[in-house]
Amino acid sequence: MKALMLAVLGAVAVMATPALAQDKVQLRLATVFDGPTVELWQPVLDDFMKAHPDIEVKMDTVAGSGAAVYPDVLRTAMASGDPPDVFFMWGGSISGPFIKAGQVRPLDDDYAKYKWGERFPQWIDNRLKIDGKMYGVPLHGQGMGMFYRTDIFKAHNLEVPKTYAEFEQVCSKLKDAGIYCASTGGKFGWHVMRLVDYFTETTCGPDVHDQLNALKVSWDQPCVVAAYQRLRDWIDKGWLVPNFLNVAPDDSRIPVYQGQAAMVLEGPWMEPAIVQAEQDPANFGFFLPPTDHAPDRYSAFPEQWMISAGSKHPDQAAMFIDYIASLDTQKAHPEAFQGSPLIGMKPDCTKTPITCQIVDIVQSDRPAYPPTDQAFVKELMDSFFAVQDGIIAGKLTPADGAKQFQEQVDAWKAKQPA
């Protein structure tokens, strides 16, 4: 009899276990976090699960791939009907195809419910709005500028430039001293694009630059030719480390570390990279390259959290995003939220002074322009990169480059549905 009762109890326990597991909502979170970042985030997830014992959050990461592979992984998961509930995404055009395909849940109701709109600088909210709707909640606001070698500047009595003309003078003096002004990596196109974007901002000004990115005005115009000419001049004058067309962006930092080049155009991720490369952080400073325009804008882009349209638990997913987008959570885990644009959230300025400087700029609501690869779809962007490569290699003149890219824009527009 005792054995029979034990057997019955065992059977009940076995039958009850899946039921209990099913009661717990399982949220899947897709990210591009690397190993150390995953470690920083695990306590955040643990705290959330402690506060919400009925929800379990599991993080899947596609580390180190950047925008090259992660969107493919995400797309495959969505196409197979098994999307993550919450996923990391860059801003701008990279998220566009997912939204267009109806794979992303609009978050306007959640924005109203949780008052997310009040938590972040306006420029980030504006940048994330697509066709008047909000689809994502900001994770990072990444501002970019010149990381420069303070020791080299000091050794050659150089000051941080206040105008574009001063910037050219700095480059010229560095060249005379046998040091390249800047280093860049042409492989994938987007690293050099940052320089081209800067030149376009200086020659076209904020309004025209925005209209160019929106394809509302022709790229075949004098200010674009002038921007391409500046790129050409920097190469011809020997201000850029030569033969950079196939150099990977990360490898382009090496001449700066070795003191052969004085600066590189990067964002706040550069500061940990400097430490990782065993460089002395005291030898590095940061400035926004001057544009000679008002407003004096800089290049910046948001990164965001989105909820899959196919998520089985959208309410819990929104609750999770609300938790990680709150000041209390981020202050409890400052290392996990480096570069957060949440107003009031600041990194430890004694540990990461440059990141602190960038966060101040990002949260100040100073106007920013988007990197072109977040303004155009990838297909058009690759045409932009092909023209850029042609100018760098001397296969295209700046005028031909501007003309050719506008032809590519026209061809791309003609293919789009009305």
Which residues contact other proteins (rule: CB under 8 A)? 68, 71-72, 75, 78-79, 97-98, 100-103, 186-189, 241-248, 251, 254-255, 260, 377-379, 382, 385-386, 389-390, 392-393, 395
The least CB distance from residue 254 to other proteins, in Å, is 6
Residue 25 or 375: the one with the smaller Cβ distance to other proteins is 375
The least CB distance from residue 79 to other proteins, in Å, is 5
Residue 100 or 133: the one with the smaller Cβ distance to other proteins is 100
The least CB distance from residue 151 to other proteins, in Å, is 20
DSSP string of 335-395, one letter each residue: GGGTT---TT----TTT-HHHHHHHHHHHTT--EE--GGGTS-HHHHHHHHHHHHHHHTTS
Residue 244 or 369: the one with the smaller Cβ distance to other proteins is 244
**Rounded Cα gap, residues 209 and 198, in angstroms:** 10
Residue 72 or 207: the one with the smaller Cβ distance to other proteins is 72
Residue 17 or 258: the one with the smaller Cβ distance to other proteins is 258
**Rounded Cα gap, residues 339 and 266, in angstroms:** 13
Q: Are 143 and 365 in contact (CB under 8 A)?
A: no
Classify 410 in phi/psi space as left (phi over 0), alpha (psi -120 to 50) or beta. alpha
Distances (CA, A) of 77 to 136, 187, 307: 19, 28, 13
The least CB distance from residue 353 to other proteins, in Å, is 29
The least CB distance from residue 241 to other proteins, in Å, is 7
The least CB distance from residue 78 to other proteins, in Å, is 6
**Rounded Cα gap, residues 239 and 232, in angstroms:** 10
Residue 38 or 377: the one with the smaller Cβ distance to other proteins is 377
CA atoms within 13 Å, Cβ hemisphere of 32: 18
The least CB distance from residue 269 to other proteins, in Å, is 21
**Rounded Cα gap, residues 75 and 78, in angstroms:** 5
Residue 119 or 232: the one with the smaller Cβ distance to other proteins is 232
The least CB distance from residue 369 to other proteins, in Å, is 24
Residue 322 or 407: the one with the smaller Cβ distance to other proteins is 407
The least CB distance from residue 389 to other proteins, in Å, is 4
Q: Which amino acid is at 180?
A: Y
Residue 26 or 260: the one with the smaller Cβ distance to other proteins is 260
Give the pairing type, strands 86-90 and 298-307.
antiparallel
**Rounded Cα gap, residues 212 and 190, in angstroms:** 17
Can you point out the beta strands (E) in 14-70? Answer: 25-31, 55-61
Q: Which two tokens stand for residue 33?
A: 């976090």
Residue found by looking up tokens 């697509």 in the block: 130
**Rounded Cα gap, residues 81 and 263, in angstroms:** 46
Q: Are 252 and 244 in contact (CB under 8 A)?
A: yes
Q: Which two tokens stand for residue 405?
A: 């890219």
Residue 255 or 339: the one with the smaller Cβ distance to other proteins is 255
Residue 277 or 393: the one with the smaller Cβ distance to other proteins is 393
The least CB distance from residue 307 to other proteins, in Å, is 16
The least CB distance from residue 316 to other proteins, in Å, is 24
**Rounded Cα gap, residues 199 and 305, in angstroms:** 31
Residue found by looking up tokens 């296969």 in the block: 395
Contacting residues for 119 by C-beta, under 8 A, at least 6 apart:
325, 327, 342, 343
Q: Which two tokens stand for residue 307?
A: 């909820």
DSSP string of 81-115, one letter each residue: T---SEEEEESGGGTHHHHHTT-B---HHHHHHHT
Give the pairing type, strands 180-182 and 133-134.
unpaired
